[in-house]
Chain A
Amino acid sequence: MRKHYQWAWLILVWLIPHLLFAQERQYSGTIISASDNNPIPGVNVVIKGTITGVVTDFDGNFKISAEQGTTLVISYIGFKTQEVLLGGTSSLSVKLEEDVTVLGDVVVVGYGSLSKKDVTGAITTIGSKDFQTGVVTTPEQLIAGKAAGVQIVQNGGSPGAGSTIRIRGAASLNASNDPLIVIDGVPVDNGGIAGSPNPLSLINPNDIETFTILKDASATAIYGSRASNGVIMITTKKGTKGMKPSFNFSTQNSVALIRRKVEVLDADEFRALVTNPENRATAAQIRRMGKSNTNWQDEIYRPAFTTDNNLSYTGDLAKLMPMRASLGFLSQQGILKTDKMDRISAGLNLSPTFLKGNLKVNLNLKGSLSKNNFANQGAIGAAATFDPTQSVDDSTNQAQGRYGGYFEYLDNRRRPNQLAPRNPVGLLNQRQDQSNVLRSIGNLQVDYALPFLPDLRVNLNLGYDVAQGNGTVEVPDSAASNYFTRGQFSEYRQDKRNTLAEFFLNYQKNLDGINSRIDLLAGTAYQDFLTTNYAFRTLTFRRDTLAAIPRPVFPLDKPQNRLISFYTRLNYAFMERLILTATMRWDGSSRFSPDTRWGAFPSAALAYRLTEENFIKNQNVISDIKARVGWGVTGQQDIGANYGHLSVYGISSNTAMYQFGNNFFNMARPSAYDPNIKWEQTTTWNAGVDFGFLKDRITASVDVYYKDTKDLLNVVPTPAGANFSDQVLTNVGSIENRGIELSINTVALKTEKLEWNIGFNVTSNVNKITKLNTQTEPGYQGVPTGGISGGVGNNIQIQSVGHPLNSFFVYQQIYGADGKPVEGQYVDRNSDGVVNASDLYRYKNPAPVFFYGINSNLSYGKFSAGLVIRGSQGNYVYNNVYSNLGTINTVLSRQDFLVNASKNVLETNFNGNLQGADNSKRLLSDYYVQNASFIRLDNLTFGYDFGSFIHSKTLLRANLNLQNFFVISKYKGVDPEIFGGIDNNFYPRPRVITLGLNLSFQ
């Protein structure tokens, strides 16, 4: 029944264009595809120089009133735009040629590109028109919520903050779970750069044309030992041959406002708690309270302004040199006072062709300089915990010129009390943490079709990714935070150099005799990653070298790793119906010993295009069906250590020497190692179907997958006496991920003036650890993980066989008749009469059961509107703010200072210091593991197209954006979307309002 309604709805949608043009009839026509002579619905037919136009109907027909002698511009995505001069004939028939260069028809894959119809793997492409809008300062945020199977969680609200990206879940415990990122053919270094909040923030999002996300092994296996976490291929904007020169200038200006603060006691609630006789504060503690009412969080946050300005030129210089040049300037404040990032970026792309198109050259150069001032994020926790009855300033300290004039907890000699929280405003204002980071990525790609064998192309790609980060941290000696070290002056510097050489041969041939096409690729690659870390001596604020701060033992260190690879791929199409892809990669990595360093990573996939069958061709509802099935093996070599297979002795620092007689000696320590360490290996199965309905006006994809990772690197306890440590990293574990992805994109409405697109994607991924050790003793619980605040070295999560990654490992809280948790009472789950570590159980985990994104764009004439909604269901977060600050004892544990508590204490009335009870169990109560499912309005955009401005070749657009406007969630903390599931001192993601203008002129 429901299906019928859907069809009725669709028919109605299609009737609208018919109903709308009840106009005077002068010209009519049919538009058909040149390749198959089928009519094309939805084609734009516009009178040149105006915005007046129509769209072809279901049968490719259109009718339009226009004057003779005007020109019609006929355009449709995937086809070359045509212009038709209107003459005397009122009936027109126009054939549109397919445009193979248009994006969407060609899909970027590893080492080349494929026609979309030949794709056999699970690949999602997101073009610039579908990107997130507003102030987006780091590339990965452009596609948040846009692709099924891809989870992008920004790690907080600081300027340039990075994101955790997961493609189809996490497949590793100890190695990297980050996807490989390839920018214009250069696989970039995923590691951080010193002084940069996020290495990707050094890439200007405005230069990006498309993201191609390779998800299953048949797509990724060509990247072998780096492909287990998926591959994100970023293609930057380029000039094309014959294009007219145009300039584009855009400016986006925004203000960010804090959306939600940590709920702690206000001054009145705090006073009431301290003076409540039931809480038995001592007279000394009551005396400690001040007379002010300070909301410390108001003191540390501010409205933050950002301006992002971009100028670009695109054109074909002298008809020889298609190029694009761009310049960007970003200045972003953080909502935490003193937080700031400035970035200047420049990009140049040249794509000339020579020798009648046989020699194609592509040069990409990107560079950026970022200057950061990092706020002391310690202020976030300090503001939550600082006594709200104290004032920001202190008159005695001001008079004496001490501690910046701020109120601080002092001992009776007016020296800072070391266990007390520091004044949050002082923490921010008395610290300068600045950095300068340079990064440049570039490559030169030469593609040459051999004159004596034109089907064979040779391709050479030389690339680099270099970065240098350096910075200083200065804290004046008047700051309470560094009183005992006489302030601080420290420096750091890191250089990174990643060089790439690739060479491949590509043979493409149509074998018409046997109805086949083949596309064969074979190549080799060399990539080297060198990091140089410089060591500096930390000095006092006054650079007082007399202070006996030891020197570093080594002035610098140069960790390095290298990959050498060979790869091959065959694409074979038979009768345009059956498409086979097979790939093979051999990777050698310097990270492993000569015996284990070479690995082979095969894949195979088959697709069947039902589109070519007559029963599809002969009807108009289903326009495309492609069924795909793929299998492949990928690896993960990013294990952190570069020399993990070697037995090496490390030399201790000058603060860890040992005394013999009157002399001190640096200690040489052998490290635990596993000589046979190797990559983790993932076998992936994927099956999917792509649908197109109504001439692809509705497209949908469904994929199911199963990923089985073995040889998982796990830190396992070593038998005592058998190695140089109590644990060693070795390949022992297994984990499996399985999931389903669905994405639907539809043009819901399309008329002359109105267009409404809706996209929806949803992903469900579940993982399970299937093996952790070589042997499993009964009673072995697993590997604790997820460190929390409260006590020292406490963990809230565990990796256990048979359970999802990072499952919370907690005591089961007992609740009273009033529904409130009873302090110190936990379920004796094994019924042995005592509640101890054996009663911990696994309860929920931070990964969502499913997550989804909804995108919609609506345009009506000159107006447009868009929204992005992201949501997540079934993800849980440990509220460490509640657990760490949620008791009366939080406030009253010390005689010499008071600490503010979470408002949660008013609900639970937890004491936190029960006599005779093991108070530490409270931290591990499942009460604090909270449902953090959410729906977030990520982005709401309104645009207005002014059209010609000043003169006809200048076009102006304006936009208004609201980002992160609301979040619907039951979760009680600042933000439910916290990767890793432990909420503590989280930098809040602000609400951002952006006003932007875009000016283009030719």
Chain B
Amino acid sequence: MKTFNKIFIWVLLPALFWTASGCKKQLDLFPLNDLTPDKVYANAAGYRQVLAKVYGSFATTGNNGPAGSADIPGGGDEGFSDFVRGMWNAQELPTDEAVVGWGDIGLQDFHNLNWTAENGFIRRLYARSYFQIVLCNEYLRESTDTKLSERGIAGADADDIRLSRFEARFLRAFQYWVLMDLFGNVPFVTENDLIGSNLPRQINRADLFNYIESELLAIEGALKEPRTQLYGRADRGAAWALSARLYLNAKTYTGSERLNDAVTYSKRVIDAGYTLHTDYKQLMLADNDQLRSSEFIFTVNYDGNSTQTFGGTTFLTNASIGAPMVAADYGTNGSWAGLRVTKNLPMLFPDSGFSTSALPDRRAQFFKGGSTIDIANIANFPDGYKVIKYRNIKFDGTPGKNWNNSFSDSDFPLFRLAEQYLIYAEATQRGGNGDAGLALQYINNLRTRAEAEQVTAIDLDFILDERSRELYWEGHRRTDLIRFDKFTKNYNWPWKGGAIDGRDVEDYLKLYPIPSNELQANRNLRQNPGPY
């Protein structure tokens, strides 16, 4: 009997005591692989990994390539949530440059120009832009001089982190430009707004324009000289290129033209040493990173092995392929059979048979086999030409590096030299203080590269067409049509607004609605005009 009392005293009571006393610590558990902020930012390598996310968040959809651990889990399929695909849908699908055959809810709303505030594609794009902005803000908060010295980071490591702060500000300015262009008045947060503190306030479109301008002015001197930063990171050329684009569209955003500034900044880029790549047909190929020292100013980088996504250039390549096309001819194994083009784009080119121009134009990259140029039915893939501008094929004709050709290597240029030529020409043509002769020469530079007929005179309509010939499917068309006031009225294309021959639509469609879930979450916001 005594033994049992002893057991009770020596075993059970200590057990009880241990449970009661140890419980506070016992319940503090931490993940094995994920890192708390103090561990991430312990050294320069950690900063570089965060900076990789600050940049890479416009390339991938999550932390697992090609899918899994999504950055933006809300609103459905992860493959739709990358930046390039979302931006491309919003800029190209509502225009004459693209239709898509798939029946995913909300996708047809783009070309039909009848979207609602519930549209999942709009929601994801909006969330993607803010995701990157919030990462930039966090990076700026964690990389102040105080924090760096607290963490004992000094010397070249600290210098590079300080430089990268200006790059983060560039990326943030870029995403605010995207939001301003697509949505108008949007919520505004900087590194001074801590996570989860207050509901962000809405900023007026013109004020946002001023903010973006002030940021670009503030950082351009601090960024590295054009063409000197590591490929994939932003330099002064990128900031100038964004400024030029911003000023060209100033009237859309603020009501006032800033054409002289557009001329100035496009000229700075043009004079910074960039050159046109010799062959237009190679611009969007698998090893187009070779253009890093020539035509490309700033890119979203993909890699078939290391940067995989179902969006980006993999989407642009695969979605354009369907029977009778053979996927392997494009360096991929996916034929998603979705994207085509309305007849208006091929008709801008001489070799479509609709033009009287004598010379061909190497920029026309269409697959016509088994297709009709007219689209009787958007859902029917054979209706409409296919754009084969994006191909996962190297310059030497071999496929991209992914071992089973599932993902594209092609990088997506957010800014390339050709656009700056066109900005210079257009700003000059619109009355900016550029040189008209130089403008004509820049246009002819592009046409020479395209092996197209030289022109002797240009006007605004010609520039709009030339922009389409040069920049189609690169995410510019909606902004261009709005700037030329041809988006809602004055110009129609097949199935615009859901009518087979196109129809005029209401002007409120020049802006996308703030997503309804965002209005639900943030009562500071006012919806854009329209029946939302």
Q: Do A and B bind each other?
A: yes
**A-side interface residues toward B, CB under 8 Å?**
355, 359, 411-413, 415, 417-419, 448, 450-451, 458, 460, 484-486, 501, 503, 524, 526, 547-550, 553-554, 556-562, 564, 588-590, 594, 597, 642-643, 646-662, 664-671, 674-675, 715-727, 773, 775-777, 779-781, 790-795, 832, 834, 836-838, 889, 893-896, 913, 915-916, 918-920, 923-924
- Mark each residue of chain B from 36 to 80: 1 if its CB lies under 8 Å from any CB of chain A, else 0: 110010000010111111011101101111101101111111011
When chains A and B are docked, how far (Å) is the Cα of A503 from the Cα of B15? 8
Given A648-B35, A780-B516: 12 more A-B contacts, CB < 8 Å? A524-B19, A562-B26, A649-B37, A652-B56, A652-B69, A656-B60, A659-B232, A660-B52, A661-B231, A668-B49, A720-B200, A781-B516
Give residues of chain B (238-275) contacting chain A, Cβ–Cβ below 8 Å: none
Q: A451-B1, A547-B403 are in contact. Are A651 and B199 (CB under 8 A)?
A: no
Contact of B127 among A419, A557, A666, A720 (CB under 8 A): A720
A918 CB to closest chain B CB (Å) equals 6
Are B35 and A590 in touch, CB under 8 angstroms?
A: no
* CB of B308 within 8 Å of the partner chain: yes
Contact of A913 among B19, B107, B124, B377 (CB under 8 A): B377
Across the interface, which residues of A come within 8 angstroms of B131, CB to CB?
724-726
Are A660 and B195 in touch, CB under 8 angstroms?
A: no
When chains A and B are docked, how far (Å) is the Cα of A915 from the Cα of B26? 64
Are A666 and B49 in touch, CB under 8 angstroms?
A: yes
Q: List 16 A-B contacts (CB under 8 A).
A: A418-B327, A419-B335, A484-B333, A558-B32, A559-B31, A655-B306, A657-B52, A659-B303, A666-B52, A669-B63, A670-B138, A720-B186, A721-B188, A794-B105, A832-B531, A895-B382
Across the interface, which residues of B come within 8 angstroms of A723, CB to CB?
134, 195-196
Of A589, A654, A726, chain B has the most CB atoms within 10 Å of the CB of: A726
Are B307 and A651 in touch, CB under 8 angstroms?
A: no
Across the interface, which residues of A come within 8 angstroms of B376, CB to CB?
915
When chains A and B are docked, how far (Å) is the Cα of A648 from the Cα of B36? 5
**Interface bin, chain B:** 35 or more
Across the interface, which residues of A come within 8 angstroms of B112, CB to CB?
918
A929 CB to closest chain B CB (Å) equals 17
When chains A and B are docked, how far (Å) is the Cα of A651 from the Cα of B31? 12
* CB of B118 within 8 Å of the partner chain: yes
* CB of B518 within 8 Å of the partner chain: yes
When chains A and B are docked, how far (Å) is the Cα of A665 from the Cα of B50? 9
A29 CB to closest chain B CB (Å) equals 46
Are A561 and B29 in touch, CB under 8 angstroms?
A: yes
Are B232 and A726 in touch, CB under 8 angstroms?
A: no
Across the interface, which residues of B come within 8 angstroms of A780, CB to CB?
516, 520
Across the interface, which residues of B come within 8 angstroms of A837, CB to CB?
116, 118
A926 CB to closest chain B CB (Å) equals 16
Across the interface, which residues of A come within 8 angstroms of B16, CB to CB?
503, 524
When chains A and B are docked, how far (Å) is the Cα of A781 from the Cα of B15? 52
Are B105 and A665 in touch, CB under 8 angstroms?
A: no
Residue of A nearest to B33 (CB): A554
Are B518 and A668 in touch, CB under 8 angstroms?
A: no
* CB of B328 within 8 Å of the partner chain: yes
Across the interface, which residues of A come within 8 angstroms of B62, CB to CB?
652, 656
When chains A and B are docked, how far (Å) is the Cα of A597 from the Cα of B323? 58
Are B34 and A651 in touch, CB under 8 angstroms?
A: yes
A464 CB to closest chain B CB (Å) equals 16
Across the interface, which residues of A come within 8 angstroms of B105, CB to CB?
791, 793-794, 920, 923-924
Q: A648-B31, A661-B232, A895-B323 are in contact. Are A726 and B64 (CB under 8 A)?
A: no
Are A722 and B199 in touch, CB under 8 angstroms?
A: yes
When chains A and B are docked, how far (Å) is the Cα of A895 from the Cα of B383? 12
Are B521 and A719 in touch, CB under 8 angstroms?
A: yes
Across the interface, which residues of B come within 8 angstroms of A834, CB to CB?
114
* CB of B347 within 8 Å of the partner chain: no
Are A415 and B328 in touch, CB under 8 angstroms?
A: yes
Across the interface, which residues of B come within 8 angstroms of A717, CB to CB?
74, 517-518, 520-521
Are B523 and A590 in touch, CB under 8 angstroms?
A: no
Are A920 and B104 in touch, CB under 8 angstroms?
A: yes
- Mark each residue of chain B from 172 to 204: 1 if its CB lies under 8 Å from any CB of chain A, else 0: 000000000000001111000101111110000
Residue of B nearest to A922 (CB): B103
Across the interface, which residues of B come within 8 angstroms of A411, CB to CB?
323, 326-327
Are B404 and A722 in touch, CB under 8 angstroms?
A: no
A302 CB to closest chain B CB (Å) equals 33
Across the interface, which residues of A come within 8 angstroms of B26, CB to CB?
526, 562, 564, 590
* CB of B444 within 8 Å of the partner chain: no
Across the interface, which residues of A come within 8 angstroms of B380, CB to CB?
913
Across the interface, which residues of A come within 8 angstroms of B467, CB to CB?
none
* CB of B301 within 8 Å of the partner chain: yes
Q: A653-B63, A721-B193 are in contact. Are A355 and B306 (CB under 8 A)?
A: no
Are B65 and A656 in touch, CB under 8 angstroms?
A: yes
When chains A and B are docked, how far (Å) is the Cα of A915 from the Cα of B500? 9
Are A649 and B52 in touch, CB under 8 angstroms?
A: no
Q: A458-B12, A721-B193 are in contact. Are A562 and B29 (CB under 8 A)?
A: yes
Across the interface, which residues of B come within 8 angstroms of A725, CB to CB?
71-74, 127, 131
Are B30 and A643 in touch, CB under 8 angstroms?
A: yes
Are A485 and B328 in touch, CB under 8 angstroms?
A: no
When chains A and B are docked, how far (Å) is the Cα of A417 from the Cα of B322? 10
Are B326 and A652 in touch, CB under 8 angstroms?
A: no
Across the interface, which residues of B come within 8 angstroms of A915, CB to CB?
376-377
When chains A and B are docked, how far (Å) is the Cα of A597 from the Cα of B31? 17
Are B1 and A548 in touch, CB under 8 angstroms?
A: no
Residue of B nearest to A460 (CB): B12
When chains A and B are docked, how far (Å) is the Cα of A52 from the Cα of B324? 83
Are B1 and A355 in touch, CB under 8 angstroms?
A: yes
A785 CB to closest chain B CB (Å) equals 11
Contact of A548 among B51, B193, B305 (CB under 8 A): B305
When chains A and B are docked, how far (Å) is the Cα of A562 from the Cα of B334? 46
- Mark each residue of chain B from 418 to 461: 1 if its CB lies under 8 Å from any CB of chain A, else 0: 00000000000000000000000000000000000000000000
- Mark each residue of chain B from 319 to 351: 1 if its CB lies under 8 Å from any CB of chain A, else 0: 000011011100001111100000000000000
Are B53 and A658 in touch, CB under 8 angstroms?
A: yes
Contact of B520 among A355, A485, A773 (CB under 8 A): A773
Across the interface, which residues of B come within 8 angstroms of A893, CB to CB?
379
A790 CB to closest chain B CB (Å) equals 7
Across the interface, which residues of A come within 8 angstroms of B230, CB to CB?
660-661
Give residues of chain B (77-112) contacting chain A, Cβ–Cβ below 8 Å: 77, 79-80, 102-105, 107-108, 112
When chains A and B are docked, how far (Å) is the Cα of A719 from the Cα of B57? 19
Residue of A nearest to B402 (CB): A548
Are B403 and A721 in touch, CB under 8 angstroms?
A: no
* CB of B498 within 8 Å of the partner chain: yes
* CB of B405 within 8 Å of the partner chain: yes
Across the interface, which residues of A come within 8 angstroms of B74, CB to CB?
715, 717, 725-727
Across the interface, which residues of B come within 8 angstroms of A501, CB to CB?
15, 19
Across the interface, which residues of B come within 8 angstroms of A559, CB to CB?
31-32
Contact of A791 among B46, B57, B103, B404 (CB under 8 A): B103
When chains A and B are docked, how far (Å) is the Cα of A790 from the Cα of B77? 13
Are B30 and A775 in touch, CB under 8 angstroms?
A: no
Are A413 and B307 in touch, CB under 8 angstroms?
A: no
* CB of B280 within 8 Å of the partner chain: no
Residue of B nearest to A834 (CB): B114
Are B187 and A549 in touch, CB under 8 angstroms?
A: no
When chains A and B are docked, how far (Å) is the Cα of A728 from the Cα of B126? 16
When chains A and B are docked, how far (Å) is the Cα of A657 from the Cα of B309? 11
* CB of B413 within 8 Å of the partner chain: no
Are B199 and A590 in touch, CB under 8 angstroms?
A: no
- Mark each residue of chain B from 126 to 146: 1 if its CB lies under 8 Å from any CB of chain A, else 0: 110011011100100000000
When chains A and B are docked, how far (Å) is the Cα of A654 from the Cα of B406? 16
Q: A418-B333, A650-B63, A916-B500 are in contact. Are A664 and B303 (CB under 8 A)?
A: yes
Across the interface, which residues of A come within 8 angstroms of B56, CB to CB?
652, 656-658, 667
Residue of B nearest to A790 (CB): B103
Residue of A nearest to B495 (CB): A916
* CB of B477 within 8 Å of the partner chain: no
Q: A557-B33, A597-B27 are in contact. Are A792 and B46 (CB under 8 A)?
A: no
Q: A562-B27, A660-B52 are in contact. Are A654 and B306 (CB under 8 A)?
A: yes
